[in-house]
Structure 1
Amino acid sequence: MIDELDLAFDEHADKTKPRHRRGRGGKKSSGKSGIAFVMAFVLLAALGGGVYFGYNKVKDFFTAADYDGAGGDAIQVTIEKNATLTDIGNALVDVDVVKSTKAFVNAADANPKGKNIQSGTYNMKKQMSAESAVTLLLDPKARVTKGVTFREGLTMMQTFALLSKATKIPEDDFVQAAKDPEALGIPDFWFNRRDGKQAKKTVEGFLFPDTYEFDPKMDAKAILEVMIGRFLDTATEIGFVDTVQKNLSVSPFEALVVASLAEAEAGVPQDLSKIARVAYNRTYKQQPAMPLQFDVTANYWLQLKGSAAKHSGQLSQKELDDPNNPYNSVSRAGLPPGPIDNPGKSALEGAMKPASGEWLFFVAVDKKGNSAFAITNEQHDANRLKACRNGVPLSNCPK
């Protein structure tokens, strides 16, 4: 074979020079040359075909697998909050919406709005092209759920009402699901106290205020688990449990109660840590402990009974000092039995790292919500007078 190939290439290289063919005759050599030429042609064709086949294989290896068209069977897909394009692609591959994560990421990168895909539940189709999937995820009409925002300081009953409105799940379903906080994922150590009082086992305080995307298939229990999980994650993130136990010598539950009180009383964020300090000073530094005298505890009791909350200046003395109110902070010393609302991250941080000061009093002194803080009764009376002059409706402003 090698001889024939050599001969074939030799004869076509330069026809002007004589060849030495090692004793082969003319006719025989000519026949051999023709055969060699054909064989060389076949070999080159085979090599060329192999190169082409190999190229396609390599090309297929580097090209992302993808479906064609707009897809077939309908399916709902939930995109989690803060999911990356790769996370989204993986989720779509798992339910056979797109064929590969790489195809989806490439299609999203190619779309000018591809990085604007929001969390939520979407109506999709199985076996869509990656481009079609990206287009559908950017279409507001395909989005089944929209974000539900819960502001800081809502009570659990207010939260249940908003949840019911957003999800169409009866409010009582949330009430019933909330009766066993530990079954919803709250570790039992959260209900320990160091002040000798019994902790009220409740989801109040643990329904973290945030914007949520709830899957339409979730029931009341699953939804509350998500909100509680967000609280626990946040508490872990800021080191809440370890910090309050080490630096304040109180239980995490007591600090959570203080955070809820500060959330309810503060008119501006910068006062959260100062109000938390007042609560700690009155409860733990004064001997014996002083009643907190926070109007918000009276309002919480009114809401638990189904009444509307009132401005502090509109609360009667009977409402402020109701002997049947377990949250009464006018004549009862110490912290109430549990949180009175659901505090946000800033309030948790304020209760975890309260401001330094000997304050025992505070009062809102302007209509923006700024408070003035005092150590003595005389200073507090002066601050109250200032508030009255600024048009803040206190209960005992001079006529």
Structure 2
Amino acid sequence: MIDELDVAFEEDAESGGSRRGNRAGKGRGRSAVALVMTLLLFAVLGGGVYFGYTKVASFFVAADYEGSGSTPVEVTIRKNQSLTEIGNELVEADVVKSTKAFIQAAEAEPKSENIQAGTYVLRRQMAAKQALAQLLDPNTRLSKGVTIPEGKTAKQTYELLSKGTGIPVKDFEEAAKDPVALGVPDWWFNRSDGKQSARSAEGFLFPDTYEFDPKVTAEQALRTMVEHFLTVTGDMGFADDVQKNRKVSPYEGLIVASLAQAEAGITADLPKVARVAYNRAYVKDMPLQFDVTTNYWLQLNGKDPKHSGELLTKEMEDPKNPYNTEIVKGLPLGPINSPGKAALIGSMKPTTGPWLFFVAVDKSGRSAFAVTDAEHQKNVQKACANGIDLCGK
């Protein structure tokens, strides 16, 4: 085609300015043809460029719906899900048309990092930008999350769960009667010290923030918490570690973790408090004399816990208390709360030392540790001088 155009232009040039008549007419005709052909060529090339552009652009423009959607649908976002995983959930529920569209909308919105786990009421076939806005709106979130802090007893945990889910406390208490049915393996209740196990859910309800389905039952909620406990301790190798290195059963290691969780005022002291418990129970064969076990028994019986300096001798030495550590040697009947990961690690890897005593010596919760009672009494006086109420004991 280009060759023909060249010939046409050459013939036109050869005709010269003095040549008129028929040859001149033919030259003008050929020029017109050449012009038309040129325009057609550019049109074809231009159309191809446009077609190619739209084809390439389609690779970068994600498929997306328009508008605010149609029928309502509930979507559950799990904890620690990535944007891709959230996008996949939304596509599965037909909320957004493509994961890519959701990711592009999220990457353009800095607040997308604040998407919380939970169940949301969205709409089918929403624009990705609209869906993202709904996920960032707390009013569309059905489950608000239930936070169980470290060191809470099972009884306190049921109260927090009830407040967060609306399920009566008695339902949780009923569901917790058989911890094995909740998923606690039976071997977890074995002891190497010859003592009886509590065989309760105490200690197995791992402290964390949970996002429960609005229709969750008490049993399902507790099973979720037990499963989380098993996952955390499994990842840590807790059971094998305490058996191999501490020479105690996993249940005894859990009891020590719960005692350290209750007694230590700061995280750094958890391994040291655990060491005191091991030293007293297994090295010196002496009573632990941990006031927290007395308070635990008081709470189980519907009474308020007391400050150490306010506990009565008859309360600490109550022979009916199976958690008595004031006069009874060894570890108590079972865990006294739900220890967190740091307390579990402290029980696995207690700080090396001969300590048998400890006391909080300042208002930050830091403890001083001692080997002899004389050293301990000096630490008690230091605590009193710092405003810690112990001297009445």
Classify the TM-score, shorter chain.
Answer: 0.7 to 0.9
Q: What displacement does 1:298 show?
A: 1.1
Q: 1:12 to 1:241 in 2, by over 3 A?
A: farther
Count residues in correspondence: 385
Q: What displacement does 1:47 show?
A: 7.2
- Do the aligned residues in 2 keep the contact of 1:109 with 1:115 (CA within 8 Å)? no
Gaps of 5+ in 1: 19-25
User: 1:16 pairs with 13, 16, 19, which one?
Assistant: 13
Deviations 1:227-267, CA, capped at 9 Å, x for gaps:
22332232234332232222211122111100100111112
Which stretch of structure 1 is more off in the superposition, 377-386 or 162-171?
377-386
Q: What displacement does 1:14 show?
A: 4.4
Aligned-partner Cα distance in 1 for 2:366–2:78: 38
> Aligned residue for 1:22?
none
Partner SS state of residue 192, structure 2: coil
Q: 1:46 to 1:386 in 2, by over 3 A?
A: closer
Deviations 1:62-94, CA, capped at 9 Å, x for gaps:
321100101011112222222211111111111
Aligned-partner Cα distance in 2 for 1:259–1:270: 14
Q: What displacement does 1:215 show?
A: 2.2
- With normalisation by structure 1, the TM-score equals 0.86
> Aligned residue for 2:136?
138
> Aligned residue for 2:192?
194
User: 1:231 pairs with 218, 225, 229, which one?
Assistant: 229
> Aligned residue for 1:65?
63
> Aligned residue for 1:278?
276
> Aligned residue for 2:85?
87
> Aligned residue for 1:293?
289
Aligned-partner Cα distance in 2 for 1:194–1:13: 108
Partner SS state of residue 230, structure 1: helix
1:386 aligns with 2:382: yes
User: 2:335 pairs with 339, 344, 351, which one?
Assistant: 339
> Aligned residue for 2:326?
330
Partner SS state of residue 335, structure 2: coil
Which residue type is aligned with residue 166 of structure 2? K
Deviations 1:108-165, CA, capped at 9 Å, x for gaps:
1112323332222222111000111111212222222223322211100001001101
Aligned-partner Cα distance in 2 for 1:361–1:71: 65
**Residues 1-399 of structure 1 mapped to structure 2, 5 A cutoff:** 10-11=7-8, 14-17=11-14, 52-53=50-51, 55-286=53-284, 289-394=285-390, 396-397=392-393
- With normalisation by structure 2, the TM-score equals 0.87
Which residue type is aligned with residue 8 of structure 2? E
Q: 1:338 to 1:53 in 2, by over 3 A?
A: same
Q: 1:40 to 1:312 in 2, by over 3 A?
A: same
Aligned-partner Cα distance in 2 for 1:186–1:350: 22
Partner SS state of residue 332, structure 1: coil
Which stretch of structure 1 is more off in the superposition, 40-49 or 261-270?
40-49
Aligned-partner Cα distance in 1 for 2:376–2:48: 92
Partner SS state of residue 15, structure 1: helix
Identity over aligned residues, as a percent? 58
Aligned-partner Cα distance in 2 for 1:290–1:324: 19
Aligned-partner Cα distance in 2 for 1:112–1:283: 53
- Do the aligned residues in 2 keep the contact of 1:312 with 1:395 (CA within 8 Å)? no
Q: 1:53 to 1:377 in 2, by over 3 A?
A: same
Partner SS state of residue 290, structure 1: coil
Q: What displacement does 1:277 show?
A: 0.5
